Structure formats: structure tokens, C-alpha cells
């Protein structure tokens, strides 16, 4: 494709995206296709002849759009807010357009240095001190893995430089709450700790936040039995209920045992753009690493996860590599981000943050987050005063955990009822919720924070929820 052909097709694509976004509310939230239906509308053989751009867009519309669950729909309340803000999308387009590939500082000095600037701007915007240095990774899962690799090497006196964990006499152990995201556990076993050395610590029954006394007990028991506690992953804003693990208390317990503390604030990091929310990660300056995802509630287009460490030298010692075809640098002072993570090549992700901050502006982003916090409180209040309904967890952020509990329905029957009415809501196409287990029972999570979700949309969602839960699950 020549630049001239690109110009024409690119304008048409931007028009198409703008149209798609402005009509999102007219689509069903949840895709109605069944398994295999999208695959089936594609030819089984790859094309041998090019087609024109108009035809490609028509095929995109016919083949792909019906297979989308629309996370930008105002009735989308599943998983977590996954806004793909248009200002940041322009930055993503610019990133591809510039064709830069960050394999070293020299390969594109701007790519490295804009990333440094954006990480530092974002640090300031969430109120972290100057002791933090950051990088942008794809996801919070990767950040947890990086954190546990650093923790492993610190606790094993850099065993990777010799026999690795296999040379260690005492097994290393990792601790996280029973409600942390599964990526924390996955990071532990990917980093070689072994599932047997992962402790899922119990929580405070009212808040579902990690109980630091239980953490201290688990650590003491492991030490008494000859193991070496290496790391805690604390979650600020758990996926299930946005519980806030008590960072300060965790740091005290872990610090006394020389352990690494990583804070996973994948969702809640966005709230730290609001000074009034920063109590939620009180004690954060005492941890070793932090990650949060602008690609969630803040609305940066996926993927964009910020990973901060207090000791970049340790990270570079663990992740650094040398190769003759990638010389060390023009000067020792430059950052070689390939030595801060797993992949060699990196995208120019910083541009989408810059574009979002520049074009949307912080005040508008903050206003949207505040609106969502108010809307979550509004919904919680509605549910609390409605007979037969129960709010199951505190609502510090934008997620409301709810159950409809008809009289006489308990145990497995209650679970079946919950799953059925949530499924009916999703089938309606008007709203989309994801169920989850809290304690041993199923409940519905109403995750608020779509860019276009106003209180009026929540009123509509709440009406559909009540209709589906109380009148034969027949909404359509
Ligand atoms: N941590 C928390 C608390 C999350 O809520 C999620 C996603 O739901 C993740 C980690 C995983 O996010 P990512 O897709 O960025 O790995």
C-alpha cells in the first residue's frame, strides 16, 4: 500500500470507526453469535488476490461486528471498565504510523525517552514520590511475573546466576489473598516457586481484604517449617469485589521478614488520579513494585500497564541481557528498556498515554472517574432499599456486588437463580454483567465505568436486573 492509498483508506477507516462508536448503544451489549460462527464465515483458505478497501470494510461489518461483545456500550458492566478512548486510539495509530520498534535506546531514542516521560508524568498524577521509576508493559499479569522474578532473585541471592532455584535448600514461598487475580498465582508458578509454595491467605469477612494477621501466621509457619518467604502480592481493588488489601500492614509484616511486596492495582490505579482516593493504598511508598492499568478504567486503549519499581538496578540485574548486535548504549545514562522486562522489542505505547492526556486532559478524566464513583454509590443505595436484594460487599470504587435472594431460596438453588437471571440480563442485549463467587456463593458484579455510562443507563440496567430476577427471566 502506498502512502496515497493509505491516506484514502485511512480517512475512510476513521470515518467508519467514528460511526461505529457513535452507534454503539444501538447494538446488543453481548454478542449473539454462537461458538464457531465467526470462524465459519471466513473462507477456509487464505486469499490469493487482494480486494479493495470498501469490500474489506463490508466484510469487517458482516463477519466481525456481530461477534463483538461491546465493551464501549453504556450498558456494559462486565469484568471491569475496558474503555478504549478515542484520543488514546489516535496515539496508538500514531505509534503504528511512525513504525518505531524499541529494541534499544539507539533504535529509537524518542520511543524510550517518551516512555520515561510518560511513566514519570503518570507517577506524579497518582501521587507517588520520586523514588519510583517506571516502564510500560502489556498487562498486569506480566507486571506480577516481573515482580515475582525480582523477588525470587532477591530472596535467593541471585540464584539464577548459578544453579537457579534447583540449587536452593529452602523452598521460597509467595503469599497473596484468596481473592487476588489468578494472574498472581500464575506468576508464582511461572516464576518457578511451585504451586505448593503459593499461600492463598484468608480475608477479613466484612471487607474481603487480606487479613494481615493471617498473613503473619502463614509466614511464621513457613519459616518454622524451613521455608523462605519471598514475596507478597497485595491487591488494591480486587477483581471480584474491589476489596482493598491493607498495604501498610502488609508492608510491616513482609518488611520484618525481608520480603518483596508487589501491589497489583490493575483497576484501582486509575482512582489514584483522584487525590481523595489515595487513602486506599496508604503505605504504598513502602512496597517494592506497583502495577496498574491505564487500559482499564482510565480508558487508554489496550494494552498499557504501568510497572514501577523502587530499585531499577535490581530489575535490570535480573532481566538484563547483552548481545553483540545490540551494543550497550551511546552513554551509560540511557535507559535500555529491553533490560526491564521479558521481550526484546517494544511498541511505542507511551504515545497513547500522551495523546490521551493531551487531548482529553486530566480534569475531564478525573470528572469521569468521580461520576462513576457517585453512580456506584447511587446503585448501591437503590439495591439496599429494595426488598429481596442484597449488597454483599463494601463499594469503595465502581463495582457493586449484588444478589437477589428470594425468600426460601438457599444454597445451590440460590446459585442457580443468580446465574439464570444474570444470563437473562446478558441475553437481553441491554446490559451485560459478569457473575462471580464471593464466599462459596455466586453473585452478580455490576462494574461501572464505561466512558459513555451515565446514571440514566444504570437506571435502565437496574430495571432490567429486577425484571430478569423477578419475572420469569424473560427479558428480551
Ligand atoms: N489484577 C487485577 C486486580 C485485575 O482485575 C485484572 C484483570 O481483571 C488483572 C490483574 C489482569 O489484568 P491484565 O489483563 O492486565 O493482565
449: cell is 465505568
366-423 residue pLDDT tens: 999 999 999 999 999 999 999 999 999 999 999 999 999 999 999 999 999 999 999 9
Closest ligand 1 atom to the C-alpha of 238?
A: 3
Question: What is the per-residue pLDDT for 331?
Answer: 58
Question: Does ligand 1 come within 6 angstroms of the Cβ of 293?
Answer: yes
At 471, the pLDDT band (50, 70, 90 cuts) reads confident
The residue whose CB lies within 8 Å of the most ligand 1 atoms, and thus the one to mutate among 176, 183, 209, 242, is 183
Residue with cell 439464570: 420
- Quote the ligand 1 centre to 334 CA distance (angstroms): 31
What is residue 400's three-state secondary structure? strand
Closest ligand 1 atom to the C-alpha of 143?
A: 16
Question: What is the per-residue pLDDT for 474?
Answer: 46
Listed in sequence order, the residues at least 6 apart from 352 whose beta carbon sits closer than 8 Å to its beta carbon are 88, 89, 91, 92, 95, 300, 301, 304
Question: Does ligand 1 come within 6 angstroms of the Cβ of 376?
Answer: no
What is residue 135's three-state secondary structure? strand
Is residue 346 pLDDT above 90, yes or no?
yes
Question: Does ligand 1 come within 6 angstroms of the Cβ of 305?
Answer: yes
Question: Does ligand 1 come within 6 angstroms of the Cβ of 222?
Answer: no
CA-closest candidate to residue 438, choices 206, 174, 195: 206
435: cell is 457473575
Other C-beta atoms within 10 Å of 166: how many?
A: 8
Q: Show the CA angle centred on residue 294, arms to residues 319 and 378, nearest 5°.
A: 145
Is residue 242 pLDDT above 50, yes or no?
yes
Is residue 308 pLDDT above 80, yes or no?
yes
Decide whether 94-359 matches 362-471 in CATH topology: no
111-151 residue pLDDT tens: 999 999 999 999 999 999 999 999 999 999 999 999 999 99
What is residue 31's three-state secondary structure? coil
Question: Does ligand 1 come within 6 angstroms of the Cβ of 267?
Answer: yes
Is residue 196 pLDDT above 70, yes or no?
yes
- Quote the ligand 1 centre to 194 CA distance (angstroms): 21
User: Which residues lie across from 260 on neighbouring strands?
Assistant: 231
Other C-beta atoms within 10 Å of 181: how many?
A: 22
Q: Decide: 238 and 177 in contact? Cβ < 8 Å.
A: yes
Share of the chain above pLDDT 90, in %: 95
Domain borders along the chain are: 3-68, 94-359, 362-471
Rounded Cα distance, 104 and 476, in Å: 54
Q: Decide: 118 and 106 in contact? Cβ < 8 Å.
A: no
Is residue 328 pLDDT above 80, yes or no?
no
- Quote the ligand 1 centre to 469 CA distance (angstroms): 29
CATH number of 3-68: 1.20.1340.10
**In sequence order, what DSSP letters do the residues of 186-250 get, joined into one string?**
HHHHHTT--GGGEEEE-B-TTT--B-HHHHHHHHHHHHHTT-EEEEEEEEBS-TTT--B--HHHH
CA-closest candidate to residue 338, choices 105, 153, 164: 105
* DSSP for residue 69: -
- Quote the ligand 1 centre to 167 CA distance (angstroms): 32
The residue whose CB lies within 8 Å of the most ligand 1 atoms, and thus the one to mutate among 81, 82, 84, 141, is 141
Rounded Cα distance, 316 and 382, in Å: 50
The residue whose CB lies within 8 Å of the most ligand 1 atoms, and thus the one to mutate among 77, 187, 239, 294, is 239
- Quote the ligand 1 centre to 141 CA distance (angstroms): 6
Rounded Cα distance, 170 and 167, in Å: 9
CA-closest candidate to residue 427, choices 73, 80, 29, 38: 29
Tell me the average pLDDT across 321-340: 77
Rounded Cα distance, 373 and 435, in Å: 21
**CATH ID of 362-471, from 3.90.1150.170, 3.40.50.2300, 3.40.50.2000, 3.30.70.2740:** 3.90.1150.170
315: cell is 530489575
- Quote the ligand 1 centre to 382 CA distance (angstroms): 28
Closest ligand 1 atom to the C-alpha of 139?
A: 15
Rounded Cα distance, 400 and 393, in Å: 7
Question: Distances from the Cα of 418 to the Cαs of 348, 376, 409, 425, in angstroms?
Answer: 43, 20, 10, 11
Q: What is the mean pLDDT of the chain?
A: 95
Question: Does ligand 1 come within 6 angstroms of the Cβ of 187?
Answer: no
List, as own/partner pairs, every contact residues 196-204 make where C-beta atoms lie below 8 angstroms and the sequence separation is at least 24, other chains included. 196/171, 197/171, 197/172, 197/173, 197/227, 198/173, 198/174, 199/173, 199/174, 199/175, 200/176, 201/175, 201/176, 201/177, 202/177, 202/178, 203/177, 203/178, 203/179, 203/243
Share of the chain above pLDDT 70, in %: 97
399: cell is 463495582
Question: Does ligand 1 come within 6 angstroms of the Cβ of 356?
Answer: no
Other C-beta atoms within 10 Å of 42: how many?
A: 12
Is residue 312 pLDDT above 80, yes or no?
yes
Question: What is the per-residue pLDDT for 473?
Answer: 52
Nearest residue (by CA) to ligand 1, atom 5, is 239
Is residue 227 pLDDT above 60, yes or no?
yes
* Region of residue 430 (phi > 0: left; psi between -120 and 50: alpha; otherwise: beta): alpha
Listed in sequence order, the residues at least 6 apart from 303 whose beta carbon sits closer than 8 Å to its beta carbon are 138, 139, 295, 349
Question: What is the per-residue pLDDT for 476?
Answer: 42
Question: Does ligand 1 come within 6 angstroms of the Cβ of 139?
Answer: yes
At 329, the pLDDT band (50, 70, 90 cuts) reads low
CA-closest candidate to residue 128, choices 259, 253, 272: 272
Q: Decide: 243 and 392 in contact? Cβ < 8 Å.
A: no
Is residue 69 pLDDT above 70, yes or no?
yes
The residue whose CB lies within 8 Å of the most ligand 1 atoms, and thus the one to mutate among 208, 266, 268, is 266
**CATH ID of 94-359, from 3.20.20.140, 3.30.499.10, 3.40.640.10, 3.50.40.10:** 3.40.640.10
Question: Does ligand 1 come within 6 angstroms of the Cβ of 141?
Answer: yes
Question: Does ligand 1 come within 6 angstroms of the Cβ of 176?
Answer: no
- Quote the ligand 1 centre to 208 CA distance (angstroms): 17
Rounded Cα distance, 447 and 67, in Å: 22
CA-closest candidate to residue 296, choices 464, 88, 121, 156: 88
Tell me the average pLDDT across 191-206: 97
Tell me the average pLDDT across 207-224: 98
Rounded Cα distance, 397 and 25, in Å: 24
Amino acid at each position: 500500500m502506498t502512502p496515497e492509498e493509505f491516506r484514502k483508506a485511512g480517512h475512510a477507516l476513521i470515518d467508519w470507526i467514528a460511526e461505529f462508536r457513535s452507534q454503539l448503544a444501538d447494538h446488543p451489549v453481548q454478542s449473539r453469535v454462537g461458538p464457531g460462527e465467526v470462524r465459519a464465515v471466513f473462507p477456509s483458505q487464505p486469499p490469493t488476490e487482494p480486494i479493495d478497501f470498501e469490500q474489506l470494510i463490508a466484510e469487517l461489518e458482516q463477519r466481525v461486528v456481530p461477534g463483538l461483545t461491546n465493551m464501549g456500550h453504556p450498558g456494559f458492566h462486565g469484568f471491569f471498565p475496558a474503555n478504549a478512548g478515542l484520543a488514546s486510539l489516535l496515539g496508538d495509530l500514531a505509534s503504528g504510523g511512525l513504525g518505531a520498534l524499541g529494541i534499544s535506546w539507539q533504535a529509537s531514542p524518542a520511543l524510550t525517552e517518551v516512555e520515561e516521560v510518560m511513566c514519570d508524568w503518570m507517577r506524579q498524577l497518582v501521587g507517588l514520590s520520586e523514588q519510583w521509576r517506571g516502564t510500560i508493559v502489556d498487562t498486569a499479569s506480566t507486571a506480577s511475573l516481573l515482580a515475582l522474578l525480582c523477588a525470587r532473585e532477591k530472596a535467593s541471592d541471585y540464584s539464577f546466576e548459578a544453579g537457579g532455584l534447583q540449587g536452593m535448600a529452602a523452598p521460597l514461598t509467595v503469599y497473596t489473598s484468596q481473592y487476588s487475580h489468578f494472574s498472581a498465582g500464575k506468576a508464582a508458578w511461572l516464576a518457578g516457586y511451585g504451586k505448593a509454595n503459593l499461600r492463598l491467605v484468608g480475608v477479613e469477612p466484612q471487607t474481603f481484604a487480606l487479613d494481615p494477621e493471617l498473613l503473619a501466621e502463614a509466614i511464621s509457619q513457613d519459616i518454622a517449617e524451613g521455608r523462605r518467604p519471598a514475596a507478597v502480592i497485595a491487591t488494591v481493588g480486587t477483581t471480584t469485589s474491589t476489596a482493598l488489601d491493607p498495604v501498610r500492614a502488609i508492608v510491616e509484616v513482609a518488611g520484618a521478614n525481608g520480603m518483596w511486596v508487589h501491589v497489583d492495582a490493575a483497576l484501582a490505579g486509575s482512582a489514584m488520579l483522584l487525590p481523595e482516593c489515595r487513602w486506599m493504598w496508604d503505605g504504598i511508598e513502602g512496597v517494592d513494585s506497583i502495577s496498574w492499568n491505564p487500559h482499564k478504567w482510565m480508558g487508554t486503549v489496550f494494552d498499557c500497564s504501568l510497572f514501577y519499581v523502587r530499585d531499577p538496578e535490581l530489575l535490570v540485574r535480573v532481566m538484563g541481557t547483552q548481545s553483540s548486535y545490540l551494543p550497550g548504549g551511546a552513554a551509560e545514562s540511557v535507559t535500555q528498556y529491553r533490560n526491564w522486562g521479558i521481550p526484546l522489542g517494544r511498541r511505542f505505547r507511551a504515545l497513547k498515554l500522551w495523546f490521551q492526556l493531551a487531548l482529553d486532559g486530566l480534569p475531564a478524566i478525573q470528572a469521569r472517574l468521580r461520576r462513576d464513583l457517585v453512580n456506584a454509590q447511587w446503585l448501591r443505595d437503590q439495591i439496599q432499599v429494595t426488598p429481596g436484594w442484597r449488597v454483599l460487599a463494601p463499594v469503595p470504587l465502581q463495582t457493586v456486588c449484588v444478589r437477589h435472594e428470594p425468600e426460601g431460596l438457599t444454597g445451590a438453588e440460590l446459585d442457580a437463580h443468580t446465574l439464570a437471571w444474570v444470563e437473562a440480563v446478558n441475553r437481553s442485549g441491554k446490559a451485560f454483567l459478569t457473575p462471580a463467587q464471593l464466599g462459596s456463593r455466586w453473585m452478580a458484579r455490576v462494574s461501572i465505568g464505561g466512558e459513555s455510562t451515565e446514571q440514566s443507563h444504570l437506571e435502565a440496567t437496574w430495571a432490567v436486573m429486577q425484571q430478569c430476577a423477578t419475572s420469569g427471566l424473560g427479558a428480551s
